[in-house]
Amino acid sequence: MKASIKKGLSYGMTSGVITSLGLLVGLYSASSTVGVILAGLLTIAFADAFSDGLGIHISEESSGHLSSSEVWEATIATVASKMALGLSFIIPILLLPLNVAVVVDFIWGFLALMFLSYVVAKQNKDKITSVLFEHTGLAIFVVLGSFLIGEVIKNFIK
C-alpha cells in the first residue's frame, strides 16, 4: 500500500474512532436522547472528516515530502476512512436500545482501534502490547473526559 494512502487511512480511522466515541459518550451522558446523538454523530462524521482531510492536505503540502497526487491520496483516504468509520457508529444507535447501542459502539470502537494498533505495531516491529496500551489508554482518557464533560453539563444545565 502506498505510504500516502496508509497515512490517510491510519489517521482517518484513529480520528474516526476517538472523535465518534468521545462525542457519543459525551452526548449520551449529557442527554441520552437518540435524536441528539444521531445528529451529533452524523455532523461529526461529515464535518470532522472533511476538516481532518483538509488538515492532512495542508500539513502534507507544507511538509513538501509528497507529490501533489500523493497529497490528494492522503486527503481522500483520510476523509473516506474517517467518514466511513464515523458513520458505522450510527448503525447500533438505529437498531438497538440506546444503552445497549452505546456499549456495542464502545466495543466496536475499541476493537477497531486495537486492530489498527496491532497492524501498526507489526509493521513497525514494535512491541504489540506496548502499542495497544498506549493507544487504548489515550482513547480511554478521551472517552472518560467526554463522559465527565457530559455529566457536568447534565448537572449544571437543567
As a whole number of angstroms, the distance between CA 158 and CA 125 comes to 51
b/e per residue 101-131 (b: at least 16 CB within 10 A): bbebbbebbbebbbebbeebbeeeeeeeeeb
Looking at residue 158, its pLDDT comes to 66
Residue with cell 482531510: 53
Segment-wise mean pLDDT, segments of 10 residues, the chain, 158 residues: 86 92 94 92 95 92 87 93 95 96 96 94 93 94 95 86
Domain with 118 in it: 3-156
As a whole number of angstroms, the distance between CA 47 and CA 143 comes to 20
Looking at residue 63, its pLDDT comes to 86
The answer to whether the beta carbons of residues 73 and 5 sit under 8 Å apart is yes
Looking at residue 92, its pLDDT comes to 97
Q: For the chain, how many structural domains are there in total?
A: 1
Could you report how far apart the first and last alpha carbons of the chain are, in Å?
A: 51
Looking at residue 3, its pLDDT comes to 84
Which pTM was predicted?
A: 0.89
